């Protein structure tokens, strides 16, 4: 079974949408504070954007 994926992004103060570093817009999501400890994997595209690649 595949692990759930956690995205890196910023949440809008106005409507709660999350704009991820990989370019997705998630309507409303729960925040995961420690994704690797919670069993999540970091989105590869978000991780690459974070490193500037």
Per-residue pLDDT tens for 1-52?
667 888 888 889 998 899 999 998 988 767 788 888 888 899 999 989 877 7
The pTM (predicted TM-score) of the whole model is 0.71
Task: Give just the sign of the alpha carbon dihedral 43, 3, 39, 11.
Answer: positive
As for how many domains the chain has, the answer is 1
Around 39, how many Cα atoms within 13 Å sit in the side-chain half-sphere? 4
19: domain range?
5-51
Around 36, how many Cα atoms within 13 Å sit in the side-chain half-sphere? 2
């Amino acid at each position: 079974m595949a692990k759930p994926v956690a995205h890196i992004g910023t949440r809008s103060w106005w409507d709660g949408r999350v704009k991820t570093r990989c370019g997705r817009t998630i309507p409303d999501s729960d925040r995961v504070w420690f994704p690797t400890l919670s069993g999540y994997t970091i989105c590869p595209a978000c991780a690459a954007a974070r490193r500037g690649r």
